[in-house]
Amino acid sequence: MQRLILAALLIALFTLPFTFASSVTIATLIFAKALAVLGIFVLLQAGQVSFGHGMFFAAGAYAAAYFGVVWRAPDLLVLTVAVIAISGVSGLIIGLFVSRYRLIFFSMLNLAFSMVLFALLEKLFHYTGGTDGMRIRRPSLMGYTFSRSDFDMAMFYYALILMVLCTGLVWLYLRSPLGQALKAVKVNETRLEYIGLSANHTLLVAYVFSAVLAGLGGLAFGLVQGLATPDLTFWTRSGEFVFIAVLGGIGSVFGVFAGTAVYEIVRFYAAALLDDSWQLILGITLIAVILTVPSGLIGLPARLRAAFGGARTNGKDKA
């Protein structure tokens, strides 16, 4: 049953340009953001919240901008590999430091690092273009150069494939021994250490993984926008990722996609009306979700069933 739903969902997504052609760009942005949210989701498995993953998001976008300056029309696949390497290495460097901490320190140190990057991107305008940011050139793909409309379509499939692959990877990762160990970081670190696994290393692996996910998200996001700006690493951006992850629910990888889609669609249609009070609404919703539906959107059907059907269903640990 679940496989059927999954297959139907995938078919619907891959045929989206033919069924709802107008939604291609917003769908691409949803996939790009979902990648970053996936990164937050991985860390949430260990009970850790990063308020600073915008920094890897920005790193992905700025990397694309720099390669565009150096190579004119870089190849999309080369760009992807480069961004994986860059965000992975920066994730490793920062991770070596932050993985020694948990909870408050973990969150706030991430926030601090992302604020530093934000300030640097704004200040060093000779290299980064300051607040205006940098233009990202359209990449080529194996020698093929895209026209404007081709590119939108190519980006849609690029982001979609990337997201599907990454979601699959995260799913496999969380089922692997390493992923199980990650969940143990949240539950009981001492026991984890007793069976001979280092909690810090387990978290570090997850951190590097999540940094790469956020970097790839930033790359796809930047390519679609054609622009890399410092606000990609502003705290509101990182806060948004956390918000979506919590909204979607931390029990299942599919919650990430559901959360991002709901969030972006609401934002897309409501932003024009509510631009001034957008954060206000986000904040209040976040509080309401945490206090009333801690399992998030993905846990909502199970909760409703439990509430109305009387039968207790186990909605957690489906990932």
Among residues 14, 25, 47, 89, which is the contact residue for other proteins, using CB under 8 A? Answer: 47
For residues 1 and 59, what is the distance between their CA atoms, to the nearest angstrom?
A: 40
How many helices and strands, by DSSP H and E, does the chain display?
15, 4
Contact call for residue 108 and other proteins (CB under 8 A):
yes
The span of 10-18, 102-110, 168-176, 214-222 binding other proteins (CB under 8 A) equals 102-110
The span of 22-30, 108-116, 149-157, 298-306 binding other proteins (CB under 8 A) equals 108-116
For residues 291 and 211, what is the distance between their CA atoms, to the nearest angstrom?
A: 29
The span of 60-68, 115-123, 154-162, 254-262 binding other proteins (CB under 8 A) equals 115-123
Contact call for residue 311 and other proteins (CB under 8 A):
no
Site for other proteins in 225-284 (CB under 8 A): 235-236, 239, 242, 246, 276-280, 282-284
In the complex with other proteins, which residue's Cβ is closer, 162 or 185?
Answer: 185
Alpha carbon 159 to chain centroid distance?
12
Contact call for residue 113 and other proteins (CB under 8 A):
yes
Contact call for residue 191 and other proteins (CB under 8 A):
no
Among residues 14, 101, 146, 268, which is the contact residue for other proteins, using CB under 8 A? Answer: 101
What 3-state class would DSSP assign to 135? strand
Cβ 210 vs Cβ 60: under 8 Å:
no
Nearest approach in angstroms of CB 50 to other proteins is 11
In the complex with other proteins, which residue's Cβ is closer, 6 or 120?
Answer: 120
DSSP secondary structure of 146-167: PPHHHHHHHHHHHHHHHHHHHH
Contact call for residue 176 and other proteins (CB under 8 A):
no
273 CB-contact burial (10 Å; exposed 0-12 / middle 13-18 / buried 19+): exposed
In the complex with other proteins, which residue's Cβ is closer, 107 or 229?
Answer: 107
In the complex with other proteins, which residue's Cβ is closer, 197 or 282?
Answer: 282
Q: Residues, the chain, total? A: 319
In the complex with other proteins, which residue's Cβ is closer, 294 or 309?
Answer: 294
Nearest approach in angstroms of CB 107 to other proteins is 6
DSSP secondary structure of 192-203: HHHTT--HHHHH
Q: Which pairs count as long-range contacts for 148-156, CB under 8 Å and 24+ apart, including other chains?
A: 152/24, 152/25, 152/28, 153/17, 153/24, 154/76, 155/28, 155/220, 155/223, 155/224, 156/16, 156/17, 156/24, 156/25, 156/27, 156/28, 156/31
Backbone φ and ψ for 313, nearest 5 degrees, come out as -105, 145
Among residues 102, 138, 237, 267, which is the contact residue for other proteins, using CB under 8 A? Answer: 102
Contact residues for other proteins, defined by CB under 8 A: 44, 47-49, 51, 97, 100-105, 107-108, 111-113, 115-116, 119-120, 123-124, 189, 235-236, 239, 242, 246, 276-280, 282-284, 286-287, 290-291, 294
